[in-house]
Amino acid sequence: HGLFDISFLRPLPNMILMTPRNEDEFQDMIYTATRQNLPVAIRYPRGCAEGVDIKETPVLLEIGKGEVIQEWEKNNAPKIVLFGLGNMNSMAVQAAEELSLRGYNTAVIDPRFIKPLDEELTLFYGREADLVITIEDHVIKGGYGAAVLEFLNDHDIHTPIVRIGWPDKFVEHASTPDELRSKYGLSVETIFEKVTLHFQKLNKIPERQF
């Protein structure tokens, strides 16, 4: 399934570890990888691509820099940031739309790089958010969410973090990846449930927006 590679590649010194959210970004990452003097690994998912247009000339990506897909709005609603890694970024966007309808202020990040982590982006959103959510197509243990958790802890940032990913087990095969994701909670519904539970505990459920 390729669900364990981040956990054994991330500790390697000088490793560059990238994950594209779509085929256009994948092309950019291949182009970027060929211009590095360090070891590079690119994760890409099983299944079909998203069908986005691929630009004629690939772009050289800045190493260790993610991209803000959706910024927070200027309001007083609870701030949630969703770091959607690779092919999970589309799920992060869907979850953000659903949460926004329910009164939350959502931002979405495409991390691009697992290692080196985008420290500036992670620090800013980690400090400013009321809740951090990481979503990855990888086991939770030792994955991207763990990297974010470690990094924020090392910088004395204690914003609550919800990590969405695969459980600590060997996952059986299924006819489609979506079938397995639904079974193991990699879904918009699970994200919404975890967000609701978190803010219920704080008695900070916002009024639903229409």
Average pLDDT over residues 119-144: 97
Question: How many other C-beta atoms can be found within 10 angstroms of the C-beta atom of residue 153?
Answer: 12
d(CA 150, CA 142): 10
Tokens of 126: 């980690």
Q: Establish if 116 belongs to a structural domain.
A: yes
Residue 23 lies in a domain: no
* The predicted structure's pLDDT at residue 50: 72
The residue-averaged pLDDT of 149-171 equals: 94
Dist CA 122 CA 103 (whole Å): 24
**Mean pLDDT, residues 51-63 taken together:** 92
Q: What is the pLDDT of residue 208?
A: 63
H or E segment to which residue 69 belongs: strand 67-70
Cα gap 113→91, rounded to integer Å: 18
End-to-end CA distance of the chain: 40
Domain that holds residue 156: 67-201
Q: Which pTM does this prediction carry?
A: 0.92
| 1 has pLDDT over 60 | no
Residue 72 sits in a domain whose CATH number is: 3.40.50.920
Task: Tell me whether residue 37 is in a domain.
Answer: no
- Please confirm whether the linkage preceding 45 is cis (ω < 30° from 0): no
Count of domains in the chain? 1
Q: Among 44, 125, 48, which residue's Cα sits nearest to residue 83?
A: 125
Tell me how many degrees the CA angle 37-23-177 measures, rounded to the nearest 5.
110
Residue 165 is assigned to a structural domain of this protein: yes
Mean pLDDT of 168-183: 80
Specify if 87 maps to a domain: yes
Q: Would residue 154 count as lying in a domain?
A: yes
The conformation of residue 146, written as its DSSP 8-state character, comes to H
Residue 139 lies in a domain: yes
